[in-house]
Amino acid sequence: MSRLARSLVRHIDPAVAIAFGCIAALLFLGSLYSTSFVSPAFLLQQLKVASFLGVIATGAMIVILLGQIDLSVPWVVAVGGMMSTAVASWWGPVGGIIAIPFGILCGVALGLVSGFGVAYLRIPSMIVTLAVNAVAQGLMVVHTGGFSPQDASSQAMRFLATGNSLLGIPNALLVWGVVGAAATFLLSRTTFGRAVYGIGNSERAVYLSGVKLQRVVLLAFALSGGLSAFGGVLLAGYASKAAQGMGDAYLLPSIAAVVLGGTSILGGRGNYLGTVAGVILITLLQSILSVMQIEESGRQIIYGVVIILMLLLYGREGLVH
C-alpha cells in the first residue's frame, strides 16, 4: 500500500500537482464569493465548456512536444465549424452525418500543409502555421463572403456538443474523454509518441537513430489540424452555427493550457494529465472572472497576469530541480 503511494508520488509531475492545486484554490476563492461555484451543476457546466478547449489543446500539445508551435488554431477552428455546417445544409440528411468527419478532414488537410512545410521544406513552424492561418481565413472569406454563414449545424453536431447522456454527463465531456484517452495512449504507448518526445529533446539524435522523423512531424501537425477543426465542429454544434472569428479566442488559451500543465514550451517534456489540469484551470479562471462581473478590459489584464505569475511559479520550480 505504502509502496503504491510512494510510486504514485514519484510519478506525479510537480507541475501537474501545482496546476491541480491552483484549481482547488480557485474553487475555494470562488466559493467565498458565491457558494454556487462548488455546486455540481456549475462544475459540470464548466467541464462541458472546458471540453472544447480540451480537444483543441490536445492538438496544440502534440505539436508543442515536438518543440514546434501551431499558430493556425484560430482559423482552422473556424474552417472546422464553417465547413461542417456548410456540408450539413448542402446535402440534407446525408450531409448531417458526414458533416463531422468532413469538418475534421478539412482541418487535417490544413495541418498536412503546415506539417509538410515544417518537415520537408524546413520552414519554422511559427511562420508556416501563421501563413496557413491566413490562407484559411482567406478561403473562408471567399466561402462566406465575409459574413457569418447562415448554415445551421446538424443534429449530430448539436447532440455531441450540447446533449447529455448517462447520469447527465455532457456529451462534450465524453468526447474530450475519448480524445484524451486516445492522446494519452498515442503519446505513452506507441512508437509515434516516443518519437514525438525524442524529437522535442534532440532532433539530431532521433534522425541518427534511424527514425523517419519527417513522417512523425507531418503526422503531428495533421493531428493538430484535425483536432482544432474538431473543436470548431463542436463549437458550431454548441452555438448552432459557425461564426467569423469563432476560433480567435482559442489560440492563447490552448497554448497557455498546455504550458500551465507543465509541458515544456521547448518540447520533449510533459504529460496529458497536465494538459487536462491546464484546460480546467484556464476555463475556471475565465468564468470566475466573468461571473464576478469584472469589465472585459480588467478581465483580460487579470487573465494575462495570472498566466505570467503561474509560469514564474513553474520557472522557480525548474530552478530548484
Partner 1 sequence: MAFFEMKGVFKHFGGVSALQNASLNVEAGRVHAILGENGAGKSTLIKIMAGVVMPDEGRMIMEGREVQFASPASANQAGIACIFQELSLLPDLSVADNIAISNPPKRFGLIDRRAQRRIAEEALARAGGQDIHPLTPVKDLPLSRRQIVEIAKALARSPRILILDEATSALAAADVDKIYTVLKRLRSEGLALLYISHRMQEIAELADECTVFRNGRNVATYKAGTKSDNEVVELMIGREYSHVFPPKPSVVPSERTPVLEARELSWTNRLKNISLKVNAGEVVGLGGLDGQGQRELLLALFGVLRGVSGEISIDGKHESVTSPHLAKSPGIGMALIPEDRKTEGLMLPMSVRHNLSFAALGRLSRLGVIDRASEDAAVDDVIHLLSIRTDGTNNPVGALSGGNQQKVLIAKWLMVTPRIILLNDPTRGIDVGTKQELYQLLRKLADSGAAILFYSTDYAELIGCCDRVLVLYDGAVKQELIGPDITEHALVSSALNITSKTEEAGAKLAIGA
Q: Which spans of this chain sit near partner 1 (rule: CB under 8 A)? A: 189-192, 194-195, 197-198, 201-202, 204-212, 268-269
| Cell matching residue 242 | 459557425
Q: How far apart are CA 180 and CA 58, in angstroms?
A: 7
Residue closest to 60 by CA, chosen among 234, 227, 262, 190: 227
- Closest distance to partner 1 from the beta carbon of 227 (Å): 19
Phi, psi of 301 (to 5 degrees): -65, -50
Task: Kindly give the residue spans of alpha helices, DSSP state H, lying in 66-91.
Answer: 73-90
Nearer to partner 1, 92 or 210 (CB): 210
Nearer to partner 1, 103 or 268 (CB): 268
Closest contact distance (angstroms) between CB of 296 and partner 1 is 40
**CA angle at residue 246 from 56 to 164, to 5 degrees?**
60
Cα–chain-centroid distance for residue 94?
A: 29
Rounded CA gap, 34 and 32, in Å? Answer: 6
Residue closer to partner 1 by CB (options 203, 248) is: 203
Smaller CB separation from partner 1, 193 or 247: 193
Minimum distance, C-beta of residue 105 to partner 1, in the bound complex (Å): 21
Q: Which residues pair with 170 in a beta bridge?
A: 164
> What is the separation of C-alpha 113 from the centre of its chain, rounded to a whole number of angstroms?
19
- Cβ proximity to partner 1: between 170 and 270 the closer is 270
Alpha carbons 78 and 228: distance in angstroms, whole number: 9
Q: Which CB atom, from 205 or from 305, has the smaller least distance to partner 1? A: 205
CB-wise, 162 or 201, nearer to partner 1? 201
Q: Which is nearer to partner 1, 90 or 185 (CB)?
A: 185
Write down the least CB distance from residue 152 to partner 1, Å: 39
Q: Tell me the closest approach of the beta carbon of residue 215 to partner 1, in angstroms.
A: 10
Q: Which is nearer to partner 1, 149 or 274 (CB)?
A: 274
Q: What's the closest the beta carbon of residue 4 comes to partner 1, in angstroms?
A: 16
Which three three-digit cell numbers place residue 222? 495533421
In the complex, minimum distance from the CB of residue 268 to partner 1, in angstroms, rounded to a whole number = 6
d(CA 244, CA 149): 8
Please state the closest distance from residue 251 (CB atom) to partner 1, in A: 27
1, burial (CB in 10 Å: exposed 0-12, middle 13-18, buried 19+): exposed
d(CA 28, CA 30): 5
Closest distance to partner 1 from the beta carbon of 321 (Å): 9
Distance CA 303, CA 228 (A): 22
**Residue 94, class by beta-carbon neighbours within 10 Å (0-12 exposed, 13-18 middle, 19+ buried)?**
exposed
Q: DSSP class of residue 263?
A: -
> CA-CA-CA-CA torsion for 125, 130, 134, 139, nearest 10 degrees?
40
